[in-house]
Amino acid sequence: MFRTRYRLLVALTPNSIEKIRKKTSRVSSVRRVALGMAAVLFVALPGTTARANVVSDWDAIAATTIVTNAHQPPAASAIWFAYMHLAVYDAVDSFDQRYQPYIFTTVPPAGASEDAAAIAAAHRILVNYFPAQQASLDTQFSSSIGAISDAPANIAAGEAVGEASAQALIVARTGDGLLAVVPYTPPVGTGFWEPTPPAFAPPQTPWLGQMVPFTMTSADQFFPGGPDPLTSKNWIADYDEVMALGSLGSTVRTAQQTEIGLFWTEHTGQQYARAFRGLATQEGLNTADTARMMAMLWTGEADALIGCFNAKYSFSFWRPVTAIEAGGGNPLLTADPTWTPLSATPPHPEYPSAHGCATSAVTSIVAALFGKHVSVTVTSLVTNTTHTFSRTDDWMNEVSNARIYAGFHYRHSVNDGRVLGRKVAKQLVKGFFRKSKPNHN
């Protein structure tokens, strides 16, 4: 795995700091010009909280960069969030080395700024992967750095740590399958995926399921068992459930269930970025603890989605909007050629549920960090409402039901996604980001 193969220990001397500063001269120049700028401004979103620390600040900047500006799709967006937060985690953890590094560690010079390290790592990752946005990222970098109350030499030393951590991550992930051209032609016949209305868009991000994962041994390490046979009783039950509850014109779905179904159709990366930042603020996390939490959550979500998309494009199972029009491939089922889901179906195969995979990983990691009985607030820009959960299980259960209410998935698919995400989280918590062993030398 990348974590073992590319782990680095770097000693940052004055000469090495100067070399890194020269490599980033353009950024430093912009910083000097903009040193008097006010701190980065963030647009208030429903349910968001006040500024917590620079890690949260740059998570918000990442959301704008990845989602708003680059328009990366929901599942794939987790990859770039993971890149950034892993680099930030390694940079920040270098200062007290409380936890195991992911790839990089160093001994920062005395007095080096931890916040500057976090900012520089985040900025370098985003500029590397989204070079077209460098001008705005440089401006935000300058504003963030300018808000640090510390000696210029300490800030520069911190920047060098962040730059080194980011470069280690970039080198480690080179050739990992990001945005690779992965041909995909779905099988033709009953039970197989085909483009869905209204856009009939081509299959989305088949490369995601072929990526080298972050903590799994392979993309198919937790490969699920597959969809239920079309002749099974379970398939009949799942078909009838989504047909009744997931229809746009459903007469059995309640108003509350409709709101829940729509609530979770917001871009997942955007929605969860806000929720994670809110959790960090609520729990009063400092820069180091926020860096670790964010790295765990985004890496777990990314790996769960890599595993999920590996299975999606392996099974190529059909969506409800296709199956119900055709009668489900079973004479005991009723077809409805006019059936329409509550919301537009995402453009990729059905099994397993991506939100089931991602949210299972996320809720499992949150439970490992804070316990199952922790308050979590999530907002939605689709419904402009706020949902607050007092238990991680309630959060997970609502998302599971939401995918049925929206008309996207069958119950079996959501349940298998939950299992996959939980396995990813368990392995991550057990083997990564753990407390460092005391050095008795």
> Residue with structure tokens 């903590």?
215
Model confidence pLDDT, tens digit, residues 221-272: 999 999 999 999 999 999 999 999 999 999 999 999 999 999 999 999 999 9
Domains and CATH numbers, the chain: 2-173 (no CATH), 206-431 (1.10.606.20)
Query: Does residue 99 contact residue 433 with C-beta atoms inside 8 Å?
Result: yes
| DSSP strand pairing (8-11 vs 104-107) | parallel
Beta bridge partners of 379: 386
Helix (H) or strand (E) holding 53: none
How large is the C-alpha radius of gyration of the chain? 23
d(CA 105, CA 57): 23
Other beta carbons less than 10 A from residue 344's beta carbon:
17
Answering whether pTM is above 0.75, one says yes
Q: What is the pLDDT of residue 32?
A: 32
| DSSP strand pairing (104-107 vs 385-389) | unpaired
Going through 334-411 in order, the beta strands assigned E by DSSP cover 376-380, 385-389
Residue 413: closest CA among 334, 338, 336, 348: 348
d(CA 182, CA 408): 24
- The torsion defined by the Cα of 257, 263, 268 and 270, in degrees rounded to 10, comes to -170
Residue 115: closest CA among 52, 178, 177: 52
Residue 333: closest CA among 196, 227, 228, 232: 232
Query: Does residue 132 contact residue 106 with C-beta atoms inside 8 Å?
Result: no
Counted residue by residue, the chain has a size of: 441
Q: What is the pLDDT of residue 14?
A: 41
- Ranges of the chain with pLDDT below 70: 1-52, 438-441
Residues whose CB is less than 8 angstroms from the CB of residue 21 and which lie 6 or more positions away in sequence, other chains included: 28, 156, 159, 160
d(CA 144, CA 121): 12
Q: Which amino acid is at 379?
A: T
Cis ω before 108 (30° cut-off from 0): no
Report how far apart, in Å, the C-alpha atoms of 29 and of each of 117, 141, 408 are: 18, 11, 49
Residues whose CB is less than 8 angstroms from the CB of residue 377 and which lie 6 or more positions away in sequence, other chains included: 47, 275, 278, 279, 282, 386, 387, 388, 389
Distance of CA 96 to the CA centre of its chain: 26
Q: What is the pLDDT of residue 44?
A: 32
d(CA 230, CA 222): 23
d(CA 362, CA 26): 37
Q: Which amino acid is at 222?
A: F
Model confidence pLDDT, tens digit, residues 385-416: 999 999 999 999 999 999 999 999 999 999 99
Helix (H) or strand (E) holding 9: strand 8-11
Residues whose CB is less than 8 angstroms from the CB of residue 266 and which lie 6 or more positions away in sequence, other chains included: 380, 381, 382
Residue 60: closest CA among 355, 265, 289, 269: 269
